[in-house]
Structure 1
């Protein structure tokens, strides 16, 4: 796929479009208040109900008729894009609002996730992470940037058009999903139940730029067992925590190999696009006992074009080599399990009409060409690409410290996202004036 885009000439904003942009300004304070309401629910994994309730209520109040789209585990788990997880999500659901399903015209999907990652330890934050606050042009709180402000902007872009006196007559679908941060199964459930479109737009917090591609991501767990003993003679035991740590250099070697030998264009311009992260470790049960068990959870990135099976095999081969060469594993083999993300990377089709129209909307508002952003993470965009070869991209607010301490989003960048989405929707789809 080419990453060279021929940008269209800047289009003047029409009187009708200006009405829509003025409407965006008039509802903007509601966008911020809606974002703060979502942030205050702290929708971490398996505790998303509060934020779902907030969004369902707001969609209803905006006359956007939300419906609950359940995860349906049995229907999902046989799908090749399903990411196996350790928890039950049969009781979970996403929220979908459909305008004009089956109508003539190009269809559009606006997709955003409601779930957030843990903010622990919360005492590192300036204020409690689930109590949003504004300071010097930034809105703070877990999820403010990633990505509840974007969800608010995309929903209110639709509302602003209607508030300005227009009716959207072409097909448009809003998806507010769960489990983006760990599996992507929420968006997959929506697509698997027929809620697709011709183009997908996701307001992830990468700023007012065109998202051009993303890496693959694999999650895995490694568990080792040791031999418990009293610390009066530690040599009588085998320390599982220390034993587990011996595997990390081997995994770092795999990371180095991926970055040295698999950095093909466009990722060849980056020194290290494929990152290993040891995200969680636990083990033992008593400070004065040699620990008998330990486990780590990790994430590794891999290049577009490499399949999930290929990267899983590479991780497996890496551990097998460690077992063969390190005598510490002679007595008992580590247990390797894959869970959560097994998501392949892809590049965005930069010649698609949707990309050109989004670029044109950006130019009309800013009088400048949009920058491009090549990502070293993953988003739910992959589900649209691999499920139905639906084109799409990300374009959203500017955030800082996402997944970190004092996460925040630039308030004016939310306004920019709101207006760009409203202008894009008005040009991509079909509108009728009610006045």
Structure 2
């Protein structure tokens, strides 16, 4: 048997262990925090569990807790963000070395979205259950199954006595579902490789591009007054309805979104058009009072071509604010009291060329395990962007199926699940990619 055959057979032999490991990881409640001060859950216990397995397989493991201020300065996270109870993990299986050997990083986030409403689940979301060839539980698909696959690959290689030419690294992180702080902290800690794979759910397609995300709030001012009396003239102290004054702002945002979608300069072969989506609205103080303010939260997605020189959204912010300002120019109140923007979470877009050796290796490995991989873009965002943009590590995603037979997503849903066949296929694809990518690059003809 060839080395490849031995590795694939070893992963098949470890299928039950792969299922158990995924189930074990699901059993740790690592629901993502919604605010900086929210207490930790089971993140530290999960990281120590993974660390123990990787150490037993021969890795050098570092479980570290970033301190406030350790993160690279960027718009991704709030200043002074702490990680008490939320450590990060980096494990290294050293390669044999030699000229041209390349290191490969597997990166995965241990946090999961809320399982609420838990009463609607068929089974306990934190006690994984096998039914009809699927493993159900919060995080099975997104993305504890992918982490388990990476760990089992490393264990399988070690059990077979295979040392790759280049280093194999495994990086498990927190906070991806919030703002990517864990991978950002890992980058600040010095985590680097020649290439990285993030085994997010992708239907075993290879995701090479993703949009950036910008979060913010636009606040429109009004002036309170009794709603059952005529408001009077605002110029002489009359009431102003902030909710009604928000309408031209929403219209301006919709029109800008439509312009972006129609602009050939914003066309991308793999990604949806950029978008501005109002997601929450809060206005008013009392049901018989003209509202004094109205706030609208915005979710903005933008393309790599829209990013500024540093990869961030300064030009996008400028375009949005200008569009709103121009739309308000004919309204005296809004001219005198312009809508106020507050920008917070910002996650960079990224793209890895389709000709990159990692893309070729993953395409070949997915094909070898019986899939027909496509090159795709990610409409949302993953930690691959942080690694690519800020970590000097070109990163792409490949992982298990993320859709039900009807096309609806399995991730972030009630009764989230992963197909067991996909779990095994993901591990095999990662193993083949590791064998390929860590070898010295072939000389150019």
TM surpasses 0.5: yes
- Which residue of the partner structure matches residue 5 of structure 2? 18
Q: Which among 339, 342, 359 is matched to residue 355 of structure 1?
A: 359
Greater RCO, CA 8 A, separation 6+: 1
After the TM superposition, which residues 37-186 of structure 1 pair with which residues of structure 2 at under 5 Å, given as runs?
37-40=24-27, 41-45=29-33, 46=38, 49-63=41-55, 64-76=59-71, 78=73, 81-85=74-78, 88-91=81-84, 92-100=86-94, 103-104=97-98, 105-122=101-118, 125-127=121-123, 129-168=125-164, 170-186=166-182
Deviations 1:238-267 (A, max 9, x none): 554554455322222221111111555543
Query: Structure 1 length as normaliser, TM-score?
Result: 0.82
After the TM superposition, which residues 268-279 of structure 1 pair with which residues of structure 2 at under 5 Å, given as runs?
272-279=272-279
Q: Which moved more, 1:188-197 or 1:222-231?
A: 222-231
Note closer, same or farther for the CA distance 1:382–1:241 as it changes in structure 2 (3 Å cut): same
Within 1, Cα distance between the matches of 2:45 and 2:394? 30
**Superposed CA RMSD:** 3.2
After the TM superposition, which residues 244-255 of structure 1 pair with which residues of structure 2 at under 5 Å, given as runs?
244=246, 246-255=248-257
- Which residue of the partner structure matches residue 339 of structure 2? 334
- Cα shift at 1:176: 0.9
- Cα shift at 1:304: 1.8
Matched, 1:398 2:401: yes
- Which residue of the partner structure matches residue 258 of structure 2? 256
Q: Which among 410, 429, 435 is matched to residue 419 of structure 2?
A: 410
Aligned partners of 1:274 and 1:376 also within 8 Å? no
SS, match of residue 295 in structure 2? strand
- Cα shift at 1:121: 4.6
Note closer, same or farther for the CA distance 1:129–1:154 as it changes in structure 2 (3 Å cut): same
Aligned partners of 2:266 and 2:274 also within 8 Å? no
Q: Which runs of 5+ in 1 are unaligned?
A: 1-13
Within 2, Cα distance between the matches of 1:22 and 1:397? 19
Q: Which among 427, 432, 435 is matched to residue 436 of structure 2?
A: 427
- Which residue of the partner structure matches residue 9 of structure 1? none
Within 1, Cα distance between the matches of 2:290 and 2:130? 48
Q: Which among 189, 197, 204 is matched to residue 208 of structure 1?
A: 204
Q: Which moved more, 1:23-32 or 1:128-137?
A: 128-137
- Which residue of the partner structure matches residue 10 of structure 1? none
Deviations 1:168-201 (A, max 9, x none): 4631211111222232232122122221010111
- Which residue of the partner structure matches residue 310 of structure 2? none
Within 2, Cα distance between the matches of 1:299 and 1:357? 34
- Cα shift at 1:128: 5.4
SS, match of residue 142 in structure 1? coil
Note closer, same or farther for the CA distance 1:338–1:374 as it changes in structure 2 (3 Å cut): same
Within 1, Cα distance between the matches of 2:104 and 2:422? 22
- Cα shift at 1:206: 0.9
Within 1, Cα distance between the matches of 2:132 and 2:230? 55
After the TM superposition, which residues 243-322 of structure 1 pair with which residues of structure 2 at under 5 Å, given as runs?
243-244=245-246, 246-264=248-266, 266-267=268-269, 272-284=272-284, 291-307=291-307, 308-322=313-327
- Cα shift at 1:127: 5.0
**How many positions carry a matched residue from both structures?**
412
- Cα shift at 1:96: 1.2
Note closer, same or farther for the CA distance 1:31–1:241 as it changes in structure 2 (3 Å cut): farther
Q: Which runs of 5+ in 2 are unaligned?
A: 232-237, 308-312, 404-408, 441-445
Query: Structure 2 length as normaliser, TM-score?
Result: 0.81
Q: Which moved more, 1:56-65 or 1:238-247?
A: 238-247
Aligned partners of 2:96 and 2:165 also within 8 Å? no
- Cα shift at 1:373: 1.5
Deviations 1:248-292 (A, max 9, x none): 22222221111111555543x77x532333333445565566554
Q: Which among 365, 383, 391 is matched to residue 380 of structure 1?
A: 383
- Cα shift at 1:229: 5.2
